[in-house]
Chains A and B, each alone.
Chain A
């Protein structure tokens, strides 16, 4: 074993005792260096250069007594230095005084060879053990510090990589759009014969180019969406949506494609509205992705879409009679870039992101999605959305509009109109639609009230909008009130309270002017 060589000091003024001790130590089989001193002074000056690992110290030296030396060792910080006192211990309290000052053991004079050997060996073994333990602890501490540092570095690197990836997806997507726009519009203009007549056959190929450029744009959009979903930055704006009507519209969009493939496409419509609290755009995206998928993998039979109102949620289903998915592939179906068991015609390839996006959107809505499939028989996707509940619906829309106003440091105004006394509600609704010019404006129509949410609008402006909406005399019978964020309150509850307090029975004109 390769270890540091120990040094032992013998401090003994008696020549023959000193020689004897030295001889005993040399005979021991340990590999250590021995230094012997006749005076305390000599030993101390050597001690300052390199302290020993063990000291044999005579208690009564001519220049300094042993107790004094023991104290000096302590003062020099050599607290752990093992010292064996060598003495005849004539005085009764010598041993106690020695122990008190840090001596670790004693060798009685006259010196007995076996006694010295045993005690020195014992101390050296102990010293070795202590040193090894100290070494191991020190190395472990250093190592843990180093690992911690490594972990921090790795973490930093991962974060950087993650940002890099996000930035990359974002900027690459944008960089691709301009050239793609130029290509698409160039071909589109040739196709539309802006520069002269184009034979039909050429038109067909230009159409192919256009379709594939739109596909490319779709891929870019999907990449951006998935990167937003992963970052948690895809924002959803929930409102009251009739899912049955939504499905009906989507089904009619896909009707031509389904017919061309000879497939029956059914969106089960029972005429009754099924209200969900969802982001309509994102929900359309979910249905589009799932129905698009079903169309791709179904050669004959049907695709059936159902919307079922359950007690606590709305269950949707997109079921096809397509080729199905192997059991072993089902678990990775919703992973990114998974093209599970795909074999379909040209121009039909997807991005491998559709299902991942659908899942992301559904989960952002607080719902879930799962799949059941039998190979050769078909596949069914089941997914759920939150039910729209009358009391909370307007509140939720309100809340999400408020959240986005807060996020964008914008204002938000809400007009609440009492329509209970209104004769022609439909005409009124029509006027609301005509009076709102911006896509960001939202109208929530309930049985007794209409809420108009106007983002980025000052309270002053609301009366202008209101006068546009009221238009005819019949509006006089309305009761209305306006609250604005941030001037009337900073939380949804504060604003709703404001709306509820002011609407009951008050003269609306006074109400508005009073609030200006």
Chain B
């Protein structure tokens, strides 16, 4: 799962740090860029063209689902993973409908996120 550039959108600094560390540990060649809210995330995704965007569901301003929808509408190819601390089928459905490729829970070891990254790359 070699990605050159991954964008992580999360309003929690600690979580951002944790996720960045997990991603870099999984693949040291990956460049991880971060955004603290949806608007900033959308802007950066347009500028930086990451291969993968990881979006937390709860964000200040526009939420993770809407952020996902907007990024997807501008880019059919980018891989999107919606990540959440409150996992339930309604949210999963909403994420799917918003155009995500994967839906995973946020855990301290990022295991589910890394699984999701593996899944989006496999055909």
Contacts and interface: CB of A to CB of B under 8 A. Distances in A.
A139 B103 contact: yes
A143 B96 contact: no
Interface string A142-157: 1110110110011000
Contact of A150 (B76, B97, B99, B108): B108
Interface in B75-104: 76-77, 80, 84, 87-93, 95-97, 99, 101-104
Interface of B: 72, 76-77, 80, 84, 87-93, 95-97, 99, 101-105, 107-109, 111-112, 115
Contact of A2 (B87, B95, B97, B99): B99
A440 interface: no
15 contacts: A1-B99, A2-B76, A2-B80, A133-B89, A135-B92, A137-B89, A139-B87, A139-B102, A143-B104, A144-B105, A146-B105, A147-B107, A150-B105, A153-B109, A154-B108
A146 B112 contact: yes
Given A143-B104, A147-B107, A154-B108, A136 B92 contact: yes
B101 A2 contact: yes
By CB atoms of chain B within 10 A, which of A2, A139, A147 has the most? A139
Interface in A108-165: 132-133, 135-137, 139-140, 142-144, 146-147, 149-150, 153-154
B96 A135 contact: yes
A144 B99 CA distance: 22
Contacts, number: 65
Contact of A132 (B96, B105, B107, B115): B96
A127 to B, nearest CB: 14
The interface residues of chain B, by DSSP majority, are classed as mixed
Contact of B97 (A132, A142, A144, A147): A132
Nearest to A132: B96
A136 B93 contact: yes
Contacts of B93: 132-133, 136
Given A135-B92, A136-B90, A139-B103, 18 more contacts: A2-B72, A2-B80, A132-B93, A132-B97, A133-B89, A136-B89, A140-B92, A142-B115, A143-B87, A143-B112, A146-B107, A146-B111, A146-B112, A149-B107, A150-B107, A150-B108, A153-B108, A153-B109
B87 to A, nearest CB: 4
